[in-house]
């Protein structure tokens, strides 16, 4: 086989389904009202909006299960957080000894981080994942600690990882919900996503010219144009697993299916259901959403209020009404650019409320009269100045009159 890839049971999901599968199919529960989600053969599943993290439907989302090679999604996130893609990696003996699906790496070989990520994400090479882990952390144990810490920062609460590749370990487990959170974070790394969406690639093999073609194990990539990732996995204990994603009209959904005989059909039907029955609504866009706010005592009576953050919501198709309310206290001049002047609140059909702060887009100085009126010290100073000026004027006038009178009498 080209590039010396050693293949294990990861291809087991291509086997024909059992005759009693229809009786085993279960329908996930929708978190948001819509037409019922399609029945699937997987034992756990989650469909999540990649931008907001909204869960559209789920089946046993918090049941702890084995992730197999879906582990490599988290591995890749940790690696690119700590290493440059063009760094050279020297393959450690411990990594070269990792078995099952591999690149047949040899101890001492040198490849870039990018090449090893391509091997791990496209071809699911366990030795590539181990080589990257040791390069970044010095050992598989330390790297696993970093994986768990990274996962916890993403909001993962029911998972534990003991290796970077997903080979079976009873202490290495996750849930469909946790894996969706990890996949959502993965979508923020454009270079990783580009690798995961690659259907095939020719990888360099040190010491052998020409390298070899590696084909992506995610069969959904070749069967559905809107699919753009992410990873499949298989071990005997985990069954067939998939983290699938698809993008339609710049809207990306993520689907996790664990332990299924039909990961391609399950994930495809769930993602299509999500696109067909839900809509993403842009509530506000940072820097572009504008409202007008009244200003008291300014040289201008109004100021442009601009959203500081973007906010979107996913709702069922049809009949989704979002009510908008602009809330502000009395805004008095002077107003400084960037000052928070209002909050726009969006009341959603499900009872949830989203709040987006608005800041002033420009300065609004106060009028002179407003500054005098609202500043007691300035008012007292003006009155004192007025009194002193008035007194000086009276004194000067009186002196002038007295001088004129003296000049009107003859001397002596």
Residues 274 and 291 in one domain: no
Catalytic residue set: 69, 72, 124
What's the sign of the alpha-carbon dihedral 274, 76, 219, 68?
negative
Q: What is the DSSP string of 271-331?
A: HHHHHHHEEEEEEE-TTT-EEEEE-BSBSSSEEEEEESS-EEEEEESSS---EEEEE----
pLDDT at 123: 93
Report d(CA 255, CA 176) in Å as an integer: 9
| Structural domain contains residue 371 | no
Report d(CA 260, CA 234) in Å as an integer: 10
Report d(CA 187, CA 87) in Å as an integer: 22
Can you list the residues of the chain whose pLDDT is less than 70?
A: 1-23, 205-211, 319-320, 376-412
Q: Evaluate whether 67 touches 258 at the Cβ level (below 8 Å).
A: yes
| Structural domain contains residue 296 | yes
Last residue of a domain, one of 248, 279, 310: 279
| Structural domain contains residue 186 | yes
Report the candidate in 51, 1, 36, 23 with the shortest Cα–Cα distance to residue 316: 36
pLDDT at 15: 39
CATH number of the structural domain spanning residue 344? 2.60.410.10
Last residue of a domain, one of 279, 296, 315: 279
| Structural domain contains residue 365 | no
Residues 146 and 210 in one domain: yes
Phi and psi at 49, nearest 5°, equal -75, 125
Residues 266 and 304 in one domain: no
Residues 105 and 240 in one domain: yes
**Beta strand spans in 177-294 (E):** 200-205, 208-215, 227-235, 239-248, 251-258, 278-284, 290-294
Report the candidate in 11, 19, 65 with the shortest Cα–Cα distance to residue 43: 65
Find tokens 């299916």 and name the residue. 257
Residues 139 and 39 in one domain: yes
Report d(CA 31, CA 49) in Å as an integer: 12
Report d(CA 37, CA 50) in Å as an integer: 18
Residues 275 and 291 in one domain: no
For 332, the token pair is 């008095």
Report d(CA 227, CA 346) in Å as an integer: 32
Return the C-alpha torsion angle 104, 109, 110, 115, nearest 10.
0
Residues 134 and 185 in one domain: yes
Report the candidate in 189, 270, 182, 158 with the shortest Cα–Cα distance to residue 233: 182
Report the candidate in 391, 333, 389, 393 with the shortest Cα–Cα distance to residue 365: 333
Residues 271 and 160 in one domain: yes
Report the candidate in 346, 308, 340 with the shortest Cα–Cα distance to residue 326: 346
Find tokens 């450690």 and name the residue. 92
| Structural domain contains residue 368 | no
**DSSP conformational letter for 214:** E
| Structural domain contains residue 266 | yes
pLDDT at 238: 98
Q: Evaluate whether 140 touches 133 at the Cβ level (below 8 Å).
A: yes
CATH number of the structural domain spanning residue 93? 3.40.710.10
List, in order, residues 6 or more apart from 7 with CB less than 8 Å away.
Answer: 1, 101
pTM of the model: 0.81
Q: Evaluate whether 94 touches 105 at the Cβ level (below 8 Å).
A: no
Report the candidate in 98, 228, 229, 113 with the shortest Cα–Cα distance to residue 168: 98
Name 316's bridge partners.
278
Residues 337 and 393 in one domain: no
Domain that holds residue 302: 285-360
Report the candidate in 271, 292, 291 with the shortest Cα–Cα distance to residue 283: 291
| Structural domain contains residue 399 | yes
Q: Evaluate whether 78 touches 135 at the Cβ level (below 8 Å).
A: no
Could you read off the pLDDT of 254-276 as tens digits, one per residue?
A: 999 999 999 999 999 999 999 99
pLDDT at 328: 87
| Structural domain contains residue 50 | yes
Residues 402 and 341 in one domain: no
Last residue of a domain, one of 224, 246, 279: 279
Burial of 349 (0-12, 13-18, 19+ CB in 10 A): middle
Residues 119 and 241 in one domain: yes
Residues 220 and 123 in one domain: yes
Number of domains in the chain: 3
């Amino acid at each position: 086989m080209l590039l010396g890839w050693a293949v294990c049971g990861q291809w087991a999901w291509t086997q024909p389904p059992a005759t009693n599968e229809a009786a085993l199919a279960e329908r996930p529960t929708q978190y948001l009202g819509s037409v019922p989600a399609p029945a699937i053969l997987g034992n756990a599943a989650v469909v999540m909006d990649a931008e907001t993290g909204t869960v559209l439907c789920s089946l046993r989302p918090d049941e702890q299960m084995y992730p197999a090679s879906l582990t490599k999604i988290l591995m890749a996130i940790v690696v690119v957080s700590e290493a440059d893609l063009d760094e050279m990696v020297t393959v450690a003996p411990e990594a070269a000894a990792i078995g099952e699906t591999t690149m047949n790496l040899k101890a001492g070989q040198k490849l870039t981080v990018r090449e090893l990520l391509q091997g791990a994400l496209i071809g699911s090479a366990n030795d590539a994942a181990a080589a990257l882990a040791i390069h970044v952390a010095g050992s598989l144990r330390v790297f696993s600690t970093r994986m768990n810490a990274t996962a916890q920062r993403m909001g993962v609460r029911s998972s534990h990882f003991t290796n970077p590749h997903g080979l079976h370990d009873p202490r290495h487990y996750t849930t469909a919900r946790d894996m969706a959170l990890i996949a959502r974070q993965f979508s923020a790394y454009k270079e990783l996503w580009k690798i995961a969406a690659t259907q095939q690639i020719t990888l360099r093999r040190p010491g052998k010219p020409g390298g070899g073609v590696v084909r992506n194990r995610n069969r959904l990539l070749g069967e559905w144009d809107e699919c753009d990732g992410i990873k499949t996995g298989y071990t005997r204990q985990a069954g067939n697993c998939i983290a699938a994603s698809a993008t339609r009209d710049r809207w990306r959904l993520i689907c996790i299916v664990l332990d299924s005989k039909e990961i391609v059909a399950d994930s495809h039907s769930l993602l299509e259901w999500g696109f067909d029955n839900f809509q993403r609504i842009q509530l506000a866009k940072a820097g572009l959403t504008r409202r007008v706010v009244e200003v008291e005592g300014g040289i201008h009576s109004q100021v442009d209020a601009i959203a500081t953050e973007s906010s979107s919501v996913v709702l069922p198709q049809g009949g989704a009404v979002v009510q908008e309310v602009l809330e502000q206290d009395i805004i008095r001049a002077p107003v400084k650019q960037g000052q928070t002047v209002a909050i726009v609140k969006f009341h959603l059909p499900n009872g949830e409320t989203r709040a987006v702060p608005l800041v002033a887009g420009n300065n609004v100085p106060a009028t002179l009269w407003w500054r005098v009126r609202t500043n007691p010290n300035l008012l007292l100073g003006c009155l004192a100045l007025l009194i002193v000026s008035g007194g000086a004027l009276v004194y000067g006038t009186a002196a002038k009159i007295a001088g004129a009178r003296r000049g009107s009498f003859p001397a002596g």
